[in-house]
Structure 1
Amino acid sequence: MEGAKRYGVLMCAEDSDYVRNKHGGYFGVFMRMLAEEGERWDMYKVARGEFPEERELCLYDGFVITGSCNDAHGNDPWVHHLINLISKLNSINKKILGICFGHQILGRALGGKVSRSPSGWDIGVRTITLSTSSSLALSSLKLPSNLSIIECHRDEIRELPRKAEVIAWSEKTGIEMFKYGDNIMGIQGHPEYTKDILLHLIDRLIHHNFIMESFAVETKLKAEMWEPDTKAWQRLCVSFLKGRLL
């Protein structure tokens, strides 16, 4: 559609059968959170080596970088290709929203450091605190100072890039969110996830021996007690990506 806003999802994860059948894959999950009528959304499976052409980058209004089972501090060829792409997008001031792995790879690409968290996995629904001095707190969104979000990660940004600003933290993770200029934002948690996706991922982590079953049972019980602030996260992510934060 001529003149339509155009966005790209840089898909860093493979769909499981469950997410594909229940939610239309992770692309479908992101579409439900971010897409609005009249927009064009493209998907690039970057973990399989599918990247947008450099000459096409200027056609996009923004990009989203998804979560992944891979390490943002790893050295897979596609990870290095993604780091180079982030540098190019930043140089032309494109909006980029990074989620979980996407948050971490943004931190690395911009000069920060990512590694395993010294306190291990963070899985479940966690409350994070937004900085009262950030542009988000001062925006027309009128967000509360605390928001609940689904988390599923064992890596984290340990050192921020220069010029980046921490805009949210939690008891477990010092950099839950950051902004870099007006065009880049990272979120460690998963604003796009529903709780059934979280419970499905916990089962997958048990199956692959990433976590102990006793830890998983406790995590599931805790997750049932809390609800993520899904609507607030949707407003925040859509407003940032589409330049509506005032």
Structure 2
Amino acid sequence: MGGENGDAAVAPAAGEKEEGKEKGRRKFAVLLCADDSEYVRKAYGGYFKVFVGLLGEEGEAWQVYRAAHGELPTAAEADGYDGFVITGSCNDAHGDDPWIEGLVAFLRTLDAKKKKVLGVCFGHQILSRALGGTTGRAKKGWDIGVTCIHPSHTIIKSQASLHIPSHLPVIEFHRDEVWQLPPQAEVLAWSEKTGIEMFRYGNHIMGIQGHPEYDKGILLHLIDRLLQRNLIQTCHAEAAKASIGMRQPDREAWKRLCKGFLKGDLLW
């Protein structure tokens, strides 16, 4: 099924897809795995714009596919993209919803084509599943707030030009995790709560459990939604909010790392 053109500044105008390709315009797709809340639509223009704000650059074409509604590129359409980003979701990556099983099959197609794929939170977990790993409920429960993760020597030394710090704060918002990596995958970062915060598979696939794209406003909004639905206790919400005052996510370092992977030629 075809995707919808995003109206972000770096996206092509209607009818420009082929023309942009002929001009050598780089193309990327966001596979949106959750519906936008009213707050995110009004404050940010939707999660698609949030990701383009983090990763997009002038002259690129970005398109959104609403994967949670079964909307994905065809295998032929996938050939026209330089990279893909898979977002977070309210759903479980280990679920058997038809759209999730369709996404798993599509990700295996992207792997066979050696397409660059960056997975965030649910995207991180569903990539692991698609490639032969396992996911499930986090053994230490919800991880919400600003968490400091520890990148491996692989990232710090081999990607020295990106200046990735040894302690890297990121916003976390998850209760599932990768239990076991796919064969031949490598752990790239860990935290006190989560053993697999990042992983790579070859040079073309990378998963991140945290949310480099989130800011304080999105995190506070999501915490309040969990409270309203009685999914967390007040003490957990207060601790998560307090973490924001203790440290700030290193958005610039995450931007360098994500862009370096998605658009560069990182060799591990």
TM bracket, shorter-chain basis: over 0.9
Q: How far does residue 225 in structure 1 lie from its aligned partner after superposition?
A: 2.1
How do 1:32-111 and structure 2 match up within 5 A? Answer: 32-111=53-132
Task: Give the corresponding residue for 2:173.
Answer: 152
Match among 19, 29, 35 for residue 40 of structure 2: 19
Separation in 2, partners of 1:196, 1:117: 25
Match among 208, 213, 217 for residue 192 of structure 1: 213
Summarize deviations over 1:150-198 as a string: whole Å, max 9, x none. 0000000010000000010001100000000000000000000001100
Q: How far does residue 142 in structure 1 lie from its aligned partner after superposition?
A: 2.3
Q: How far does residue 135 in structure 1 lie from its aligned partner after superposition?
A: 4.5
| Amino acid in structure 1 at the alignment position of 2:85 | V
Query: Following TM superposition, where does structure 1 have runs of at least 4 consecutive aligned residues deviating by more than 6 angstroms?
Result: none
- Structure 2 spans left out of the alignment, 5+ residues: 1-19
Separation in 1, partners of 2:191, 2:92: 21
Task: Give the corresponding residue for 1:172.
Answer: 193
SS of 1:204's equivalent in the other structure is helix
**Normalised TM-score (structure 2):** 0.89
Task: Give the corresponding residue for 2:222.
Answer: 201
| Amino acid in structure 2 at the alignment position of 1:54 | A
**Normalised TM-score (structure 1):** 0.97
The alignment yields a C-alpha RMSD, in angstroms, of 1.0
Match among 138, 143, 150 for residue 158 of structure 2: 138
| Amino acid in structure 2 at the alignment position of 1:137 | K
Summarize deviations over 1:50-71 as a string: whole Å, max 9, x none. 1112211110000000000000
| Residues 130 and 137, structure 1, Cα contact 8 Å, conserved in 2 | no
CA change 1:179–1:136 in 2 (3 A) is farther
SS of 2:33's equivalent in the other structure is coil
- Structure 1 spans left out of the alignment, 5+ residues: none
Separation in 1, partners of 2:91, 2:256: 28
Q: How far does residue 222 in structure 1 lie from its aligned partner after superposition?
A: 2.3
Separation in 2, partners of 1:137, 1:241: 19
Matched, 1:243 2:264: yes
Match among 243, 250, 258 for residue 229 of structure 1: 250
| Residues 4 and 40, structure 1, Cα contact 8 Å, conserved in 2 | yes
Task: Give the corresponding residue for 1:181.
Answer: 202
| Residues 156 and 166, structure 2, Cα contact 8 Å, conserved in 1 | no
SS of 1:185's equivalent in the other structure is strand
Separation in 2, partners of 1:222, 1:239: 28
Identical counterparts, % of pairs: 58
Separation in 2, partners of 1:90, 1:26: 24
Task: Give the corresponding residue for 1:9.
Answer: 30
Task: Give the corresponding residue for 1:28.
Answer: 49
| Residues 156 and 165, structure 2, Cα contact 8 Å, conserved in 1 | no
